[in-house]
């Protein structure tokens, strides 16, 4: 499994601690440094079963500057959102764990991390 993290994020650090406590085998992707491409974002969204606006951190300063709260949330606007996440990775919700079974979870709680581990 892989976990997308921002090391400054307490939820990310908590997820890593739990993965370590459980003896999980995983790789870390610091997505602010190793920025996911639009294709990778689409793939993770597919694994999550979510839309790009579902994993956008709308309270970030960059989101406010872009005005994402005003953007349409429909199929015709999906690519605009994906492009924004790729161009501004700080807007991507974290942490995201891609599980071994091909699914993914936004792992902001211990329960979500355990869910990823059980897959």
Which positions are catalytic? 9
The three-state secondary structure class of 40 is helix
In Å, how far from its chain's centre is CA 7? 13
What span, in angstroms and rounded, lies between the C-alpha atoms of 112 and 93? Answer: 14
């Amino acid at each position: 499994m892989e976990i997308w993290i921002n090391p400054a994020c307490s939820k990310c650090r908590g997820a890593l601690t739990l993965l370590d406590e459980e003896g999980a085998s995983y790789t870390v992707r610091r997505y602010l440094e190793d920025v996911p491409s639009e294709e990778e974002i689409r793939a993770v969204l597919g694994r999550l079963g979510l839309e790009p606006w579902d994993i956008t951190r709308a309270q970030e300063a960059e989101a406010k500057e872009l005005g994402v709260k005003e953007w349409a949330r429909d199929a015709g606007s999906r690519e605009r959102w994906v492009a924004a996440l790729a161009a501004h990775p700080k807007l991507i919700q974290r942490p995201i764990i891609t599980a071994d079974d091909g699914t993914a979870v936004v792992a902001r709680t211990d329960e979500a991390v355990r869910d990823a581990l059980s897959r």
